Amino acid sequence: MALIQADRVRETSSTTGSAGFTLVGAVDGFQRFSAAIGSANTCYYAATDGSAFEVGLGTVSANTLARTTIFDSSHTSSGTIHRVNFQSGTKDIFATYVADKSVILDTDGDLTLGTTADISTLGNVSVAKTLTITSGISGASTLNIKGVVSAGSTLGVKGNVSSEGTLSVIGAVSVGATLGVTNNASITGTFTFATASSTGNLDVAKNFSVIENVSVGGTLGVKSNASITGTLAVTDEFNFATANSTGNLGVVGNASIGGTLLVDGNSFTFNTASTSGTLTVGDNFSAKSTSRFGDEAIFDSVVSVGGTFHIQGNASAQGTLNVKGAVTVAATVEGTALTDGDGNLRDIPKSRTFADTTVSAAQTDTGNFIFLTSSDQTVVIPTASGTFDTGDIFSVVCAGASATISSNITSMFKVGEAASTATITLGANKIASVLFVSAQHAYVTGT
């Protein structure tokens, strides 16, 4: 059974009462229902005897039209619409376009749908101007809109969504493939993107605002401002204001980025309203200006900030933390922290404690104390390029009976001695500091 809309369908009937119409033949210049609509299919119809009238959904069979659902009639009492109890005489029965079920562009060319628009059985949907839906929309393929998208409830599309205007959704947004918005995007509920796969992109040319959570399987690109109240999770890369040098990113909850976080705008502001929330970046983090974090910031690679770097809690970077301005961290920084805002080098790492027989010194030990808690332990200085450089310094504390510093670099000198040495022995409760004058040459003092 299918709902069929056909032109020039009109017959007469002499049926009385409220039963289905027996159709007696087409009016000159028109088609019969059975020929145009087809048996077992439905259509919208109107019926009148010149006085009483009825509009409804009818089901067609051979020479009959069942009055399946009534939308309007002259037989209405206390707000309830009834089938007309037709009297004797000829009735005019014809296919029509019911007002309650019609989809019509207004004088501005905008399309307004009053209830749920289900496009799940269709292919691509293209709207020339504005699409306004007071409830939800569900589609299996591409939704392409030249103007504004406004949904009162959920926007769910399994394919692509493209809007050349503003995307405004009161509820949730779920997109299976690509969402592209050339103006603003505003979502009150949760934004879920490409959950069926690990690929797909979100590209918003202007402002992006989500009250709840954002989940992006691929790349999230915002050319202007982005504001997320809940959790931001990006599997691949987050690119912010790459087309210009202005704009802000504000995240109140947690932010998790699998790839690169790049902020070319004014600032990255994270959870300044409270002291809780975590930022996790899988690759590099780069900001042109101020960056502020509420609780904890975790970086697997390089952190570069053009202005001030401020964290209420802890900062952890596997690589280098490079800040042009001031560094303010309420708790601790793990890794190497560099700032040239006042010309000083500031290292605030944690000490490492070992009971292992052999310990390999690392770049993260710069400015750090390596505590050795057992006897006959050895700290090895590796030769790998880039491990240490000019000005790097770390200390070794022997808390056991004895320890050895073993050098694999080109030369290691004990201060006060002319010849280089491959090993230096520390006694119990002794401390030695290793200062690099180049990547392959070091001096040891304080033994």
pLDDT of residue 178: 73
Same domain, residue pair 37 and 145: no
Same domain, 222 and 271: yes
Segments forming the whole domain that contains residue 378 = 352-445
Final residue of a structural domain among 33, 66, 100:
100
Helix and strand numbers (H, E) in the chain are 1, 52
Number of domains in the chain: 3
CB of 147 closer than 8 Å to CB of 129: yes
The answer to whether residues 322 and 380 belong to one domain is no
Examine residue 346 and state whether it is found in any structural domain, yes or no.
no
Residue 44 within any structural domain of the chain: yes
The number of beta carbons lying within 10 Å of the beta carbon of residue 75 is 16
Going residue by residue through the chain (447 aa), what tens digit of pLDDT does each one get? 789 999 999 999 999 999 999 999 999 999 999 999 999 999 999 999 999 999 999 999 999 999 999 999 999 888 899 999 999 999 999 999 998 788 777 777 666 666 556 665 556 677 767 777 766 777 766 777 767 777 777 777 777 777 777 777 777 777 777 777 777 777 777 777 755 444 567 777 777 877 777 777 777 878 777 778 777 777 777 777 654 445 677 777 777 777 777 776 666 777 654 445 777 777 777 776 677 777 777 776 667 776 677 776 777 766 666 666 666 676 666 655 555 444 343 444 457 788 889 999 988 788 888 999 898 999 999 988 778 989 899 999 998 889 999 999 999 999 989 999 999 999 998 999 999 999 999 999 987
Measured CA to CA, the distance from residue 442 to residue 342 in angstroms comes to: 27
Q: Tell whether 344 is covered by a domain.
A: no
A 10 A CB-CB count for 230 gives 18
What phi and psi values does residue 14 have, to the nearest 5 degrees?
A: -110, 15
- Which candidate, 92, 1, 66, places its Cα nearest to that of 38? 1
- pLDDT score for 340: 44
In whole angstroms, what is the distance from residue 387 CA to residue 405 CA?
16
Mark whether 228 and 371 lie in a shared domain: no
In a domain, 347, yes or no: no
**Alpha-carbon distance 428 to 322, whole Å?**
37
Q: What is the DSSP letter of 100?
A: G
Q: Which amino acid is at 39?
A: S
How far apart are alpha carbons 303 and 334 in whole angstroms?
12
Encoded tokens for 177: 């493939």
Residue entry with tokens 């969504």: 161
Whether residues 203 and 285 fall in one domain: yes
| Residue 162, in any domain of the structure | yes
Cα-Cα-Cα-Cα dihedral of 310, 315, 319, 324, to 10°?
10
Tell me: do 66 and 130 sit in the same domain: no
Domain end, chosen from 100, 135, 169, is at 100
Is 135 a member of any domain? yes
Torsion over CA of 64, 66, 67 and 69, rounded to 10 degrees? -140
Q: Contact at 8 Å (CB) between 277 and 252?
A: yes
Domain for residue 177, yes or no? yes
Structure tokens of 281?
């970046």
CATH number at residue 383: 2.60.120
3-state secondary structure of 219: strand
Query: Which tokens go with 332?
Result: 């601790």
48, 124: one domain: no
Tell me the C-alpha distance between 424 and 443, whole Å. 11
Whether 330 and 387 share a structural domain: no
| Same domain membership, residue 265 and residue 222 | yes
Structure pTM? 0.53
* 149 vs 127: CA distance, rounded Å: 10
**Residue 388 φ/ψ, nearest 5 degrees:** -130, 160
Q: Are residues 328 and 365 in the same domain?
A: no
Give the three-state DSSP class for 124.
coil
Q: Is residue 64 part of a domain?
A: yes
Q: If we measure between CA atoms, which residue out of 348, 323, 354 comes closest to residue 334?
A: 348
Out of 314, 339, 364, a domain closes at 339
Same domain, 358 and 330: no
Tokens of 255: 């932010």
C-alpha to C-alpha distance for 37 and 57, rounded to whole angstroms: 12
Q: Are residues 369 and 426 in the same domain?
A: yes
